[in-house]
Chains A and B, each alone.
Chain A
Amino acid sequence: MVHCYKLNGYNIVLDTCSGSVHSVDEVAYDIISMYKSNTAEEITEYILKKYKDQPDVNADEVKECLGDIAELEKQGKLYSEDVYENLAIDFKNNSNVVKAMCLHVAHTCNLNCSYCFASQGKYQGDRALMSFEVGKQAFDFLIANSGTRKNLEVDFFGGEPLMNWDVVKQLVEYARQVEKQHNKNFRFTLTTNGVLLDDEIIDYLNKEMCNVVLSLDGRQSVHDHFRKYYNGKGSYEDIVPKFKRLVEKRGGKDYYMRGTFTHNNVDFTEDILHMADLGFKELSMEPVVCAPGDPYALTEADLPKLFEQYEKLAVEMIRRKKAGNGFTFYHYMIDLTEGPCIYKRITGCGSGTEYMAVTPWGELYPCHQFVGDPKYSLGDVWKGVTNKAAQDEFRSCNAYARPECKDCWAKLYCSGGCAANSYHATGKISGVYEYGCELFKKRMECAVMIKVAEAEE
């Protein structure tokens, strides 16, 4: 399967199953698009007619281009066969490893953001803080179930995890004590709204967390519209100086400035550029997750505007990089030569199998977005996974699980998509959240275009 598209002046051909990327001229673009459904004679006739005003486009040239395409096909770089379907099923069925946890250390928050998918940190339940004992048991569960995996990931999440800071520190210290004896390497991430950051916390995070995720929605008016204290005051002015201090002292370690955009700011590129202009360089911006009827939900009419924004962002990123003030956008990060293997590309995010969320009470859920849904309660950190039927549903999620994805060029980039998005949009994790697919495909087109632009320089 090939996907041909034009963007920012480039003609791009993606070969889905080999992962090959080709930058081609107009003539080759047309020939590749026709190659599988037309004879060489038909293609030649069409091309010579279409490009009759271009003297360099003659029968010999078309013949040479057809030969080049045949050669690429022979090398497995064009029209490559899809031979991975059974790999996905076998790989997930043969693995019972757990290697990553979203640890909900605080089901409470000091902000009252109405768009929060976790209902102000409570996840439709009671406010609670995780005890050290529950967290320790979660770590022991993770180590015991991690098999031969060395790198174990824990994201301190909430609500707002800094509201349970002492337990976060105790758990990090516990992990550092035990990781060597088990031949493990804990990698910690913490996601914060920034309100409680101070120098002591910043220094600790910068020492122990391999990644920190900092929540900022962009321009002050946009950020403060949702990200408010309980008294109604926006949080922008308080947190931006703290985020700047954290990043200044971070010493180049990973971080992401992460925002959410909604129907209220479909011009979200302005918010990303605002973050960049504040001096932040590792940026992420996600579409809001909410019920379709919510006033800030993204609409069908927003979609073309969002496409335009993603393209505008990609072009601006190329421009800024050339000017020496580039920045990274999470969804445009794509490493064509050193990126993920085919197993990663077909097995999905690992929710419910190698990745789980743990509530303050030690319950296990497939991921943070399923927390509080009794149907998907998997078990707990003492007994392990007891709801095998639910886990099996997640085990069957992969790039080939949904018939709708069969002929999609992007399936090896999204691996079948987010199970939670599918569930919320269709009522089942095996469904397809088509709106999200459209955004994802546009992001991938932009990400690859940036790589092509860099290669063409």
Chain B
Amino acid sequence: MSRIKTIETRDMQKSVKTGGCGECQTSCQSACKTSCGVANQKCENADK
């Protein structure tokens, strides 16, 4: 693919089966307190 470079990303579809443990940090506990961003939280599921 000479014109398209795909950056490695987590497979969202696969995470339907492997995700949902709920152990990751609640987003407002880190720094923002006034907005909602979920994409910058770390995944804590060792079995993903």
Q: Is the CB of A68 within 8 A of B3?
A: yes
Contacts of A337 in B (CB 8 A): 8-10
Whole-angstrom CA separation of A187 from B12 in the bound complex: 27
- Contact A97 B10, CB 8 Å, known A342-B15, A345-B39, A421-B34: no
- Contact A150 B23, CB 8 Å, known A344-B41, A349-B36: yes
Q: Does A382 contact B (CB under 8 A)?
A: no
Q: Is the CB of B16 within 8 A of A338?
A: no
Contacts of B43 in A (CB 8 A): 335, 338-341, 344
Most buried by A among B3, B7, B43: B3
Chain B 1-37, CB-CB to A under 8 Å as 1, else 0, gives 1111111111111011011101111111111111111
Q: Is the CB of B40 within 8 A of A333?
A: yes
Q: Is the CB of B34 within 8 A of A21?
A: no
Q: Is the CB of B38 within 8 A of A99?
A: no
Contacts of B39 in A (CB 8 A): 334, 339-340, 345, 412-414, 444, 447
Contacts of B24 in A (CB 8 A): 340, 344
Q: Does A246 contact B (CB under 8 A)?
A: no
Residue of B nearest to A416 (CB): B36
Residue of A nearest to B19 (CB): A341
> In the complex, which of the residues B1, B2, B16, B35 contacts A440, with contact meaning CB atoms closer than 8 Å?
B35
Residue of A nearest to B8 (CB): A337
Contacts of B7 in A (CB 8 A): 20-23, 336, 451-452, 455
> In the complex, which of the residues B16, B32, B48 contacts A87, with contact meaning CB atoms closer than 8 Å?
B16
Contacts of A33 in B (CB 8 A): none
- Contact A343 B6, CB 8 Å, known A258-B31, A418-B35: no
Whole-angstrom CA separation of A348 from B41 in the bound complex: 12
Q: Is the CB of A65 within 8 A of B4?
A: yes
> In the complex, which of the residues B1, B19, B29 contacts A343, with contact meaning CB atoms closer than 8 Å?
B19
> In the complex, which of the residues B1, B33, B41 contacts A191, with contact meaning CB atoms closer than 8 Å?
B33
Q: Is the CB of B37 within 8 A of A331?
A: yes
Whole-angstrom CA separation of A61 from B31 in the bound complex: 47
Whole-angstrom CA separation of A213 from B31 in the bound complex: 6
Most buried by A among B15, B16, B37, B48: B37
Give the distance to chain A from B21, nearest Cβ to Cβ, in Å.
8
> In the complex, which of the residues A18, A72, A335 contacts B12, with contact meaning CB atoms closer than 8 Å?
A18
Contacts of A187 in B (CB 8 A): 25
Q: Using a Cβ cutoff of 8 Å, how many contacts connect chains A and B?
A: 211
Contacts of A191 in B (CB 8 A): 33
> In the complex, which of the residues B6, B26, B30 contacts A350, with contact meaning CB atoms closer than 8 Å?
B26
Whole-angstrom CA separation of A420 from B48 in the bound complex: 32
Most buried by B among A65, A69, A335, A416: A335
Secondary structure at the A interface, as helix, strand, loop or mixed, is mixed
Contacts of B4 in A (CB 8 A): 22-25, 28, 65, 68-69, 72
Contacts of B41 in A (CB 8 A): 339-340, 344
Q: Is the CB of B29 within 8 A of A256?
A: no
Residue of B nearest to A443 (CB): B37
Q: Is the CB of B40 within 8 A of A22?
A: no
Contacts of B31 in A (CB 8 A): 211, 213, 256, 258, 284, 330
Residues of chain A in range 259-284 having any CB-CB distance to chain B below 8 Å: 260, 284
Whole-angstrom CA separation of A69 from B37 in the bound complex: 30
Give the distance to chain B from A226, nearest Cβ to Cβ, in Å.
15
Stretch at the interface among A76-84, A122-130, A387-395: A76-84
Residue of A nearest to B6 (CB): A22
- Contact A354 B38, CB 8 Å, known A336-B8, A368-B33: no
- Contact A286 B33, CB 8 Å, known A91-B20, A338-B43: yes
Q: Does A189 contact B (CB under 8 A)?
A: yes
Whole-angstrom CA separation of A28 from B4 in the bound complex: 7
Chain A 1-44, CB-CB to B under 8 Å as 1, else 0, gives 00000000000000001111111110110000000000000000
Give the distance to chain A from B26, nearest Cβ to Cβ, in Å.
4
Q: Does A195 contact B (CB under 8 A)?
A: no
Q: Is the CB of B12 within 8 A of A100?
A: no
**Chain B contacts to A: CB under 8 angstroms:** 1-13, 15-16, 18-20, 22-45, 48
CB<8 Å pairs between A and B, sample of 30: A19-B9, A20-B7, A23-B7, A83-B16, A87-B16, A99-B26, A100-B25, A155-B29, A211-B30, A258-B31, A286-B33, A331-B37, A336-B8, A337-B9, A338-B42, A339-B43, A340-B43, A341-B12, A344-B24, A345-B38, A349-B28, A350-B27, A354-B26, A412-B39, A413-B38, A415-B38, A418-B34, A418-B35, A419-B36, A440-B37
